[in-house]
Amino acid sequence: MDTNVLYWGDNLPILRNKDYFPDESVDLVYLDPPFNSNASYNVLFKEATGAPSTAQAEAFKDTWHWDDATDKTWADLHDTAPKRVVDALEAFQKIIVLQEGRFAHNDMMAYLVMMTARLLELHRILKSTGSLYLHCDPTASHYLKIILDTIFGATNFRNEIVWRRTASHNQAKRYGPIHDTIHFYSKTDKYYFKPNFRPVTKGHVEEYFTKEDTGGKFWTNALTGAGTRRGESGQPWRGYDPTERGRHWAVPGGLCLTLGIDDSLPLQEKLETLYQQGFIDLPPKDSRAMPTFRQHLGDNPGIPYQDIWAYQPHTRGVLYGTEEAIDEDVRWIQRQRGAGGNSERTGYQTQKPLGILNRIIQCSAPPEGIVLDPFCGCGTAVLAAHKLNRRWIGIDVTILAVNVMKQRLEEAFPDLKGKYRVVGEPTTLSEAQSMISPDATLETRYQFQYWALGLVGARPAAANRKKGADAGVDGYFSLVHSSDGKKETYIQVIVQVKSGHVGANLIRDLAGTVGNDKLGLFITLEEPTEPMKAAALAAGLYLNPLMNTHHPRIQIMTIAELLDGKSPNLPPHRPGWERGSYIGQRIQQGTLLT
């Protein structure tokens, strides 16, 4: 099974391909699918100066409609899905879409059908020790949980994690909606899970760690839990019988982890090891008290992650041993970057903070395990997985998202360039030509244009796919024109992409658009004609003062040349995709801990 790979395309046929995804092959699935919020999501860009650009390109619509593909998926589920899954969907149909005594399909039902098909495949490819985290909002989270119960089994539900996604929302007639939900399911009851911790508050230390011995400040805590057990945890140890007290032995998992005690030891051996190392106090036998353990402040790992992940602004200085605020590692992505904003921000509207994926991967993906994100977006999951030394696989239906992922990965990990694959991206001229075949959809043609722009690091010029005043301009990026060491000036490169019907008139039109203060790059799927080459030469040369080099003011490049690795004849330039330039540095500084 290939890992460290990005797939471009619809994730359902990709997931169903057993050459790509054999049964029980993945350790952890994180998915952040469109929420059916009826919104359009765009990829935002930046200017060379780093300032946000007004340009944006539509990446996807967060709207699901009942169409022929949904009909086919619905029929497939009836034929292949477990009966309980089909029964659940049919029950939803009665609840959601029954109108005037008859069934009528709607967008929510389409969303649930399409999500069910994908969740069934994700369950198939998960290892028996694997887990799935589904990130959603209240729009459909209650329906999705029932679908997950029918596929994974209600007994394999582990948590509903609540993540605070923003500071506040002002709503006139309801409470401000500020959270998302993350449903955590395991495939079986033998799943991998390694607890991780956050710092305790200074107030907790002052209130509880009031005793002191040669090991420093400590507090005493119970070694038993409420209720009796028939197994080893209910048996007497050193003359103390928990069953007589209506309790059972319960050694905190974090205690063994912190003290370096093998957590796989039988429970009674753990108790004896803790006692021999001086961590357990034995009360008088004639008392009704039970043994307790000494938790030293220096051995305290902190508080295990709970099921509410809520960054608390203005709480710096509250936690013991760190200047971080409460849950600052999962702070939401702010709208601004730098100067108090969040430097992770890429401009991708559904981007989630690295800290969320950090927590999930640390806890639920074994070392060197395989992490899959089938709705990869801007690639936060694969970025976090790579830093944490896990193997990864990402899938996304838009080439815009794939381009953002590639740049984020290569920016954070320069050595990764050339060491991962993108499956579905054209690698040959014939594959590129197939994207604009007569039977290609309009969406596929847009994807071709975006893909071609990505080959030269350009950003789309059309906002929401409407050419408007930018007719004939498909994309652009900026070059550093000059610099005095303090201030830089820039020159813009206008990019036009054509898949056919090219001629010298297009080059002359591009030259007119470019004028004397810009450069032009014409990308063509067809070979340029001699008159086209002559028209490009007639536009003259551009002198870059910074590099003292000459470059054609208008250049023509073919898709074949770009696929062969040839680059435009230009000075070094900066990518057009808005990027979190701090991502690599932040990871290295320890935001993502191994």
Weakest-pLDDT range from 120-124, 319-323, 363-367, 402-406: 402-406
Q: In this structure, is residue 510 part of a structural domain? A: yes
Q: Are residues 249 and 284 in the same domain?
A: yes
* Cβ–Cβ under 8 Å, residues 497 and 477: no
Integer distance in angstroms from the first to the last C-alpha of the chain?
A: 24
Q: Is residue 414's pLDDT more than 60?
A: yes
Which pLDDT band holds residue 482 (cuts at 50, 70, 90)?
A: confident
- The answer to whether residue 136 is domain-embedded is yes
Kindly report, residue by residue over 530-568, the tens digit of the pLDDT.
999 999 999 999 999 988 899 999 999 999 999 999 999
From 378, 402, 423, the end of a domain falls on 423
Q: Please tell me whether residues 193 and 339 are part of one structural domain.
A: yes
Residues 150 and 179 in one domain: yes
Q: Please, what is the average pLDDT of the chain?
A: 85
DSSP lists the bridge partners of residue 463 as 466
pLDDT band at 6 (very low <50, low <70, confident <90, very high): very high
Residue 219 shares a structural domain with residue 289: yes
Place 445 in a pLDDT band, splitting at 50, 70 and 90. confident
- 206 domain-assigned: yes
pLDDT at 99: 56
| 325-357 per-position pLDDT tens digit | 999 999 998 765 544 445 566 555 568 899 999
483 and 350 both lie in a single domain: no
Distance between CA atoms of 197 and 295, rounded to whole angstroms?
Answer: 15
> pLDDT digit string (tens) for 94-152?
888 765 555 567 788 889 999 999 999 999 999 999 999 999 988 889 999 999 999 99
In a domain, 506, yes or no: yes
Average pLDDT over residues 390-397: 96
Is 569 within the bounds of a domain?
Answer: no
Kindly indicate the confidence band of residue 480, based on its pLDDT and cuts at 50, 70 and 90: confident
Query: Do 317 and 236 lie in a common domain?
Result: no
Residues 388 and 359 in one domain: yes
Rounded CA-CA distance 5/420 in Å is 5
- The predicted-structure confidence for 448-468, as pLDDT tens digits, reads as follows 988 999 899 888 875 445 544
pLDDT of residue 142: 94
Q: Which among 301, 323, 357 is the end of a domain?
A: 301
- Residue 65 has what pLDDT? 79
CB within 8 A of 177, min separation 6: which ones? 137, 138, 169, 171
Strands 518-524 and 488-498: parallel
Asked if residue 177 and residue 130 are part of one domain, the reply reads: yes
- 27 and 149 both lie in a single domain: yes
Residue with tokens 């013991």: 320
pLDDT classification of 573: cutoffs 50, 70, 90: low
Amino acid of residue 217: K
Domain that holds residue 531: 458-563
Task: Report the candidate in 296, 291, 281 with the shortest Cα–Cα distance to residue 218.
Answer: 296
- The CATH number for 469's domain is 3.40.1350.10
Number of domains in the chain: 3
How many other CB atoms are there within 10 angstroms of residue 588's CB atom? Answer: 11
Q: How many CB atoms are closer than 10 A to CB 564?
A: 9
Q: Are residue 406 and residue 261 in the same domain, yes or no?
A: no
Confidence of residue 477 (pLDDT cuts 50, 70, 90): confident
> How would residue 47 be classed by pLDDT, with cut points 50, 70 and 90?
very low
Residue among 146, 127, 132 at smallest CA distance from 182? 132
Distance CA 485, CA 594 (A): 39
The three-class DSSP label of residue 479 is strand
231 within some domain:
yes
**440 backbone dihedrals φ, ψ, rounded to 5°:** -70, 145
Neighbours of 314 (CB within 10 A): 8
- How much is the average pLDDT of 247-254? 86
Domain co-membership, 290 together with 358: no
Whether residue 398 lies inside any domain: the answer is: yes
